[in-house]
Amino acid sequence: MEPHSAERKKMVIPSTNDGVRSACRRLIGEVKDGNFTEEEVFAIHLALEEAVVNAAEHGNGMDPDKEVTIEWSIGREKFEIDICDCGRGFKPDEVPDPRCDENLEKPSGRGVLLMRAYMDVVEFNNWGNCVHMEKHRKGKEE
């Protein structure tokens, strides 16, 4: 646990477009209020939106009766978030590499790659239905 860690917050949303939009709007608002650099805000926004959309769409099949649980904290040193769905999960290491020639033309399949590119830590639980991500501050100190 980091020194002076922030309060852990939690929200539970339905697997709907409105639920996803509302959650992302709230989270990004809090990140912007947390004094991250513009680059850090962009990275966090991209990764968390991808993870929340994937949880609602792929994990829960956009079933409004299935919920996505989001827990996060914004501390002095990092933004930390856990996103879990009700799905059966997946094996992230078995996701085809979107950079391979046979996958370049596909309109999807880049989410895990993007999350890993923009966040400092991306870890999935054993079932593959929860992702833990962290973005460490590289900008100015508070």
Q: What is the pLDDT of residues 35-92, one digit of tens each?
A: 999 999 999 999 999 999 999 999 999 999 999 999 999 999 999 999 999 998 777 6
Query: What pLDDT does 127 receive?
Result: 83
Tell me the whole-structure pTM to 2 decimals.
0.85
* pLDDT confidence of residue 1: 47
Centroid of chain to Cα 108: 17
DSSP state of 104: T
Tokens matching residue 56: 């609602």
Q: CB 93: neighbour CB atoms within 10 A?
A: 8
Residue range 14-23: average pLDDT? 98
Instruction: Evaluate whether 56 touches 15 at the Cβ level (below 8 Å).
Output: yes
Q: Does residue 15 belong to any structural domain of this protein?
A: yes
Q: Evaluate whether residue 2 is within a structural domain.
A: no
- Residue 133: other Cβ atoms inside 10 A: 24
Q: Confidence band (pLDDT; 50, 70, 90) for 19?
A: very high
Residue 121 sits in a domain whose CATH number is: 3.30.565.10
Q: In the predicted model, is pLDDT for residue 105 greater than 80?
A: no
The domain tally of the chain equals 1
Quick one: pLDDT at residue 3?
Answer: 52
* Confidence band for 10, pLDDT divided at 50, 70 and 90: very high
Q: Do 82 and 130 form a contact (C-beta atoms < 8 A)?
A: yes
Q: What is the mean pLDDT of residues 102-112?
A: 63
Least confident piece of the model among 2-6, 19-23, 37-41, 118-122: 2-6
Structural domain harbouring 116:
8-136
Question: Confidence class of residue 109 from pLDDT cuts 50, 70 and 90?
Answer: low
